[in-house]
Structure 1
Amino acid sequence: MCTPVLLVFFILNGILGQAQNEDLVISWEQKLKLDEFRKIMEPNLPHDYMKKDIYLVKWLKARNFDIPAATKMLQENLRWRQETKMDTIFNEDWSETNTQYRFALDGCDRHGTPVFIIFVGEWDMRKAVLAGQSDKMRRYLDKCFEEVATVLRNMQENGSNATRASLMLDAASLSISLQFCPGCIPLYLYLVQTWGTHYPNLFNLGVVINSPDFLVPIWTNLIKPFSPSEIQKIVDIYGRKKSVWRDALATKYGIDWTTLSHEMGGDGPDPVDANDLRKAGYQYECSSS
């Protein structure tokens, strides 16, 4: 005799308002695993935000709710954060790097998800490598992801349902000589690896726009095979035909390009760069318009 199964869903604690995405809803079985995961990890979590459901469930989702695998992943991340002093990374002087390697917040999509942009086409990776600053660039990438996570936490504290951000990489002006020198490729590999390993489920998507033709084989053959599976699934690359990627932003990703900044071809306000985000204490509110 078959026993009917009642699937019960729970809205995760720690987010105000009504749940609007799958990150906020889990099944009864997943709730039990979340409770068990918390009992294992809570004594080792140094910050209150790490003890919230919405933080813990990201690690479980990254390992398909395999508790031992998620435990190992989070424990390794805690060690990494301690070894690299991630809790004080914002205290370091990033003003010059923020200006030379632009990273900005360019509004929100129609679901209230913040949209971050890396102007990767402007990033002179070759200059950083030749100046012996590869390690600093790796730390800068970690800093950028930490900023996204901090903005999201602050939005949640202020009542937003945003649990992930959207990431766009503007590849306009990208060149092999400046961005893809032999010493540059490891930096891009680090970008996708630290994203997937240390900041799982941080982004809904990673869309590369204005890409030159040579970028596709570089991504396909040199970067994608070494990227975490989560990253491989959500990264899409579009060429320099604006009508194509603009249509994709609107129809596939829910991002109305007309509301983006003038720099991105829209009618919205200027993007908030990393220096201004820092001055604002990483507080951001999506426009209601």
Structure 2
Amino acid sequence: MVSTKLFFIVCTTLLIVSLVGKAFSVENLSLTRAEKQKLDQFKEAISKITFPAEWMQQELTLVRYLRAREWDVRRAKSMLQETVAWWEENNMKDIQNEDWTDVEKDYPLHTDGVDKLGQPAIVYALAEWDLRGAAVQGRMNRVIRWFVKGYDDVHTKSFEYQKLGKTNGTQWNVIADMDKLSRQQQLCIQCLRFYTELGVLLESRYPGAISKMFAINSPSIFQVILGVVNPILSKSTLNALKVLGTNKEEWSKVVYAHFEKDQLPENLGGTRKYAPVWNEI
């Protein structure tokens, strides 16, 4: 007679294989029988929704939304419907094709690198971003949307890479270099909106998507940013966040354990070179 424990092991293994193939993912994909039943209920509940993006109806996405709403199917459905509405209201289907020449040089970020597991990453140096200038010039909405473009880019890539078998799971990374962080340019009152809005968007539209989040060369004033965003971030995101100080020998051990140097820019000790226009190598 098959034991109950063995039954659960078999069911969980079958579920993981159905989600990501034969190899195990670094994501938490194990589900109890009750959670699997919730997933089936969720699928039925959203069956009549027209999704504007393929990733929204993937099982990995549904599991994340359920976890974000503590396995409450009704609340998870509402959250997903809000994401669909947000996607359409903000014309997200065309965000990658917009003309970004007005911000790409002033606010450089890179989304072409991957970690050792093949997961894509957003990499940027915050000191290069004059957030106060964006606020004064009335460009803050544009700068926030530019960063959301980065979210969308790595999020889409994570699903594409998983489909191609380049990586297991569909999570992605964020690496922020805090070297020479300026209180005046990045921590003004108007600047804090940048962090809060992106934090809210991350948790409400891409729940559970973060694999690793590194804040490197973080000075003491970075605690101001943490104090603002910590209440916004989920437990899973906070667990993924690693705040690393200015000692290169110490932070490099952590970062290089996850990333090859050819996937990192020169300011992080890598060998990846970038042209003045973002993402051009």
TM-score, normalized by length of structure 2? 0.85
Structure 1 counterpart SS, 2:121? strand
Matched, 1:117 2:123: yes
Matched, 1:198 2:201: no
Question: Structure 1 residue 103: deviation in Å?
Answer: 1.4
CA contact (8 A) 2:109 2:278 kept: no
CA contact (8 A) 2:214 2:242 kept: yes
Structure 1 counterpart SS, 2:60? helix
Where in structure 2 are the equivalents of 1:210-229 lying within 5 Å? 210-216=217-223, 218-229=224-235
CA shift in 2, pair 1:273/1:27, >3 Å: farther
Q: In the alignment, what sits opposite 1:282?
A: none
Runs (4+) off by over 6 Å: 271-274
Matched, 1:244 2:250: yes
- For 1:270, the aligned partner's letter is K
CA shift in 2, pair 1:112/1:90, >3 Å: closer
CA shift in 2, pair 1:56/1:104, >3 Å: same
Question: Structure 1 residue 147: deviation in Å?
Answer: 1.0
Question: Structure 1 residue 36: deviation in Å?
Answer: 1.1
CA shift in 2, pair 1:19/1:257, >3 Å: closer
Where in structure 2 are the equivalents of 1:4-83 lying within 5 Å? 4-5=4-5, 6-7=7-8, 8-9=11-12, 10-11=15-16, 13=18, 15-46=20-51, 47-83=53-89
Matched, 1:177 2:191: no
Where in structure 2 are the equivalents of 1:145-184 lying within 5 Å? 145-160=151-166, 161-184=168-191
Structure 2 counterpart SS, 1:205? strand
Aligned residues: 272
CA contact (8 A) 1:106 1:270 kept: no
Distance in 1, matches of 2:4 and 2:158, equals 39
- For 1:41, the aligned partner's letter is I
CA contact (8 A) 1:105 1:273 kept: no
Distance in 2, matches of 1:24 and 1:111, equals 16
Deviations 1:205-245 (A, max 9, x none): 211001122112x0343332344444333323222111121
CA shift in 2, pair 1:61/1:106, >3 Å: same
RMSD of equivalent CA atoms: 2.7
Distance in 2, matches of 1:112 and 1:210, equals 24
- For 2:273, the aligned partner's letter is D
- For 2:171, the aligned partner's letter is R
TM-score, normalized by length of structure 1? 0.83
Question: Structure 1 residue 127: deviation in Å?
Answer: 1.0
- Structure 2: which 5+ runs fail to align? none
CA shift in 2, pair 1:78/1:206, >3 Å: same
Q: In the alignment, what sits opposite 1:140?
A: 146
Distance in 2, matches of 1:104 and 1:150, equals 15
Where in structure 2 are the equivalents of 1:99-110 lying within 5 Å? 99-105=105-111, 107-110=113-116
CA contact (8 A) 2:107 2:129 kept: yes
CA contact (8 A) 1:164 1:203 kept: yes
CA contact (8 A) 2:172 2:211 kept: yes
CA contact (8 A) 2:112 2:121 kept: yes
Where in structure 2 are the equivalents of 1:80-95 lying within 5 Å? 80-95=86-101
